[in-house]
Amino acid sequence: MSFTADINAIYQPSENVISKDIEGQFMIVPLISGVGNLNEEIFQLNTTGSAFWKKLDGKTSFGDIMVSLTLEFDAPYETIKKDIIHLVDQLIKKKFIFEVR
Amino acid sequence: MMSHKSKYYKVAGITLQLISDYSISENTFHPKFKLFEVPMPGVDMVTIRHHFHFPEFDGKIKKNQIEVYKKVPFHIFKSKDSWTYRYTSIFTDDIVTSAIGEMNDDYSSINIYTEDLTQKDYSQASFNALTLFNTDQMIFAKFLCDRNGLMIHSNGFNINGNGILLAGISGSGKSTLSGMLKEQNHRILCDDRMFIRKMDEEFRIFGNWCYGSHPDFSNGSAPLKGLFFLEKGAENQINEIKQKKEIVSRLSQVLVKPLLDSNGWQKYFITIEEMIKRVRFFRIEFDLSGTICHQINKLFGV
């Protein structure tokens, strides 16, 4: 079953990951067992993905972040939403983020 | 036959003092360690102690410890000031079936505990790792991180005094290109796992004993002058990568990820940033003719 994000959902990064932007390449690294896969490569985000990650403050809703990204990238809402829903699905499965509401 | 209860080994500028409750014979460790043996303590030293009983805490999870890694053969826990490794061998020829490693926060003091090993077993074991695990890679990943260094999934060569790394995942052609370079009498530093450290304002690469499937290694080192990302292709060409974002992306795919806490990763990221500023990075594509070696030689004035 495909993942569907609630526009009212609020997500927050796990405290068990560390993220870093080096020279424009954004990376996420799990710190403990059970979060992501410690044997896998470092997880990389593209430009849209990293912009999404940086807006995860545990307060702003998924829908509001989508609107903000649409303006920032001057791209259709549905295009951004499609990309980000796929990313959110991955991030939740890896336990890199969790829903606070 | 001479026997000792203490020996010193040096790699990447780090001296490892091994102290054992048993006598260490000529055959306790694999002959590869001979290359790294040194007669005396060093300035930067860590200590590994071997004990032949399990500790009182028996490797159980301690108060304030959290599980940080679980994949056979390792189960690893960490607290604010210590690490516990529980090792359960899955290798049929492994003389140590289980061991417990107890490390302080920076791994400068490592205690390895194992049972059911006699002095005779220990004298003839030809251990592949000083930790008695199947590899010492995990402790070196931590040592290097704390010393402005890191480990890269790569083969290292010394070409006319220039250190180069051939980086790529398994199947990318590292062995093939390494074979060609060896035919040109270039000296391999290590197969598959290379140690890199920033020392005296330059990055150096170091041979070590944590090699991969080919027992190619040395105790040599060289200043790192080029890192080549191997690509599949039918041409013979080398292109320098100027886009730093591309370098970071490619580099992150060939790093041997250490087990670190968030402070450790902050240090690790600084090392990556420094390395990107100071080292040249290339894409390399080659066929089986060997002509790519001439381009590499030319690049380094051979």
Q: Collect all residues of chain A within an 8 Å Cβ-Cβ radius of residue B244.
A: 23-24
In a domain, A51, yes or no: yes
The domain containing residue A20 runs over which residues?
13-99
In a domain, A80, yes or no: yes
In a domain, A61, yes or no: yes
Instruction: Please state, in angstroms and rounded to a whole number, the distance separating the CA atoms of residues B107 and B146.
Output: 10
Query: Is pLDDT of A98 > 50?
Result: yes
Phi, psi for B153 (deg, rounded to 5): -70, 90
In a domain, A22, yes or no: yes
- Say what the pLDDT of residue A2 is: 65
How do residues B32-87 score in pLDDT, each as one tens digit?
999 999 999 999 999 999 999 998 766 566 778 889 999 899 999 998 899 999 99
Q: Collect all residues of chain A within an 8 Å Cβ-Cβ radius of residue B67.
A: 32-34
Looking at the structure of chain A, the number of domains it has is: 1
In a domain, A75, yes or no: yes
Q: Of A20, A24, A42, which has the smallest distance from its Cβ to B257's Cβ?
A: A42
In a domain, A20, yes or no: yes
Judged by CB atoms closer than 8 Å, whether chains meet at B253 and A29 is answered as no
DSSP state of B127: B
In a domain, A6, yes or no: no
Cα separation values, B123 from A15, A36, B117, B119, B226, Å: 46, 41, 10, 6, 42
Choose, out of A32, A39, A44, the residue to mutate when testing the contact with B (most B CBs < 10 Å): A32
- CA proximity to A69, closest of A80, A54, A58: A80
The residue ranges of every structural domain in chain B are: 4-134, 149-299
Judged by CB atoms closer than 8 Å, whether chains meet at B269 and A22 is answered as yes
Report the pLDDT averaged over residues B133-146: 95
CATH number, residue A27: 1.10.10.1150
**Could you confirm whether domain B149-299 is CATH 3.40.50?**
yes
In a domain, A1, yes or no: no
pTM: 0.92
Query: Does A20 contact B at CB distance below 8 Å?
Result: yes
